[in-house]
Structure formats: C-alpha cells, structure tokens
Amino acid sequence: MIVAERKHLKEIQGLVSDQDRILIVGCQECVTVCMAGGEREVGILASSLRLARSREGKPVEILEQTIHRQCDFEFVDELKDKVEGVDCIISMACGVGVQFVAERYVDRWVVPALNTKFAGGTKEIGLWEERCGLCGECILYLTGGVCPIARCSKSLLNGPCGGSQKGKCEVSEDIDCGWQLIYDRLQEKGRLDLLFEFQPPKDWSVARDGGPRKVVREDVML
Ligand code: SF4
Ligand code: SF4
C-alpha cells in the first residue's frame, strides 16, 4: 500500500488560511490503513481547523466526506454535490488521490493534507515500513524476496558496500543492512549461489527516470 503521514496542523492551516468554505475528503483505502486520511482523520482535522479558525476570530465552514478511493474517477465523482458548495478541497489521500480530485474539479483549489512517503506495509500497529522502490522491473527472485532497491540505502544491486556493521547499515544503526538481510535469506534457502549472478546496470528508464509511466491492458478496456 501507499504509506502517508498527515502534515502538521499549522501547515494545513496556512494552506487554507484565505478559504472560508472547505470540503475535507478522506479515502478508505491505503491512508485509512496507515491512519493518515480515513474518515476518523477527516473528523479530527475538521474539528481542529474549526477550533483553530474560531480562535483566530475567522470562523470557517467545513464539510466532510470520505470516499472509497480517491485514485479512481468513479468514486471521485461522488463528491460532486458537496464540491458545489465550497471554494477549496483538502484531500487527505496520497498524492495520487489529490491529483485525481484536482483533475476532476479544475475550478476548485485543491490542497494536500498528507505527505506521501512510500510503498510499504504494516509491520505492527503504528509502524509502517518501506518495501518497494517501484522500479518497474522486479528482481526479488534473485534476492530471496528482499528488495535491494528499497532496503539497501544505496540501492546496490551486486552486494554490500562494505560499511555494514553488525548487520546494520552505515547510514544509521536503526536501519538493517539490506544486503545482510538478502545474504541471511539466501543462506536460509540454500541459494547463496545467486549472489554470484552479476547484475548489469539496471534499466532505470522503466522506473521514474523514464518519465510518468502507464500500464495499459487493452483486453479489459471498454
Ligand atoms: S525490485 Fe523493484 S519492483 Fe521489486 S520490490 Fe524492489 S523496487 Fe519493487
Ligand atoms: S551498509 Fe548495507 S544497506 Fe547500508 S548502504 Fe551499505 S550495503 Fe546498503
């Protein structure tokens, strides 16, 4: 899933300081799971903004709605009636959702309430970790299922850099060395031979470096 984190209230307040009628939109997918932008978080942000604005003597009208997915026009269209009554939309989705809402409601000012962080998962309650760098050409079959792009701080493809200490990355002792994890996993599986397979320079043109990407499935297109 996409993991995001809410911006500080002061920052959001600043982004909408000149707006008097606001719609706050939540998303029921990834950002609900990572507790950043679901229905509950929409309610908290709405109350906090109302309180902050009334303290400033500048009351604000705030509507709230949480839709199934903001990265899908089918659901974004459900906002139509509420959008008509506001000047500004605060999206509590990831950056994708914010852009889909902005694309659909071009005459409204749309601002993000979250910082989109990474593609990852829930390690335990309250802890989410990055697992995939979205490189566009997965090589997990060579690394025992541990991603060298996301889990090695230097995204090395042919073994460790030499800075690892006691299994930790030289960047921080809070970070496991990705290549130590790969080595341990391959050893467990009796596949250390895979470490001898030289990886040529990765083709980053299929990742973000090649510009905005598309997946097209003509077989399911209408
Ligand atoms: S190799 Fe690429 S696609 Fe596979 S997990 Fe790592 S970044 Fe993601
Ligand atoms: S210490 Fe390990 S994780 Fe850190 S940059 Fe070097 S190889 Fe990568």
Ligand 2 touching residue 161 (CB < 6 A)? yes
Domain count of the chain? Answer: 2
How many C-alpha atoms does 83 have within 13 Å on its Cβ side?
19
Give SS3 for 94.
coil
- The pLDDT score that the predictor gives to residue 11 is 98
Residue 188 alpha carbon to ligand 1 centre in Å: 21
Regarding whether 114 and 7 lie in a shared domain, the answer is yes
Q: What are 13's two structure tokens? A: 């307040």
Residues of the chain with pLDDT under 50: none
Residue 78: inside a domain, yes or no?
yes
Does 113 lie in the same domain as 62?
Answer: yes
- Please tell me the number of Cα atoms within 13 Å of 102 on its side-chain side: 14
Task: State the pTM of this model.
Answer: 0.94
- The answer, yes or no, to whether any atom of ligand 1 lies below 6 A from the CB of 138, is yes
Q: Are residues 6 and 112 in the same domain?
A: yes
The minimum-distance atom of ligand 2 relative to the CA of 178 is 3
Residue 222 confidence (pLDDT): 83
DSSP code for 68:
S
137 plus 114 within the same structural domain: no
How many other CB atoms are found less than 10 A from the CB of residue 32?
A: 20
Nearest CA to 115 out of 134, 132, 128, 131 is that of: 128
Rounded Cα gap, residues 28 and 38, in angstroms: 6
DSSP string, 168-217: B-TT-TTSB-HHHHHHHHHHHTT-GGGGGSPPPPP-GGGTGGG-S-----
Segments forming the whole domain that contains residue 72: 2-118
Q: Residue 123: inside a domain, yes or no?
A: no
Pairwise CA distance, residues 70 & 37, whole Å: 11
Q: Does 44 fall in a domain? A: yes
Q: Which atom of ligand 2 is nearest to the CA of 159?
A: 7
Ligand 2, pocket-test mutation among 143, 156, 172, most atoms within 8 A of CB: 156
Rounded to the nearest whole angstrom, what is the distance from the C-alpha of residue 160 to the centroid of ligand 1? 17
> Residue 93 in contact with residue 27, Cβ under 8 Å?
yes
Q: What is the pLDDT of residues 47-73, one digit of tens each?
A: 999 999 999 999 999 999 999 999 999
Q: Is residue 53 part of a domain?
A: yes
Residues 54 and 159 in one domain: no
160: CA distance to ligand 2 center in Å?
6
**pLDDT in the model for residue 115:** 98
**pLDDT (0 to 100) of residue 111:** 98
The pair of structure tokens assigned to 6 is 């809410």
Pseudo-torsion of CA 14, 15, 18, 21, nearest 10°? -120
The verdict on 10 and 88 lying in the same domain is yes
Q: What is the pLDDT of residue 200?
A: 94
- What's 83's domain CATH number? 3.40.50.2300
Residues 98 and 183 in one domain: no
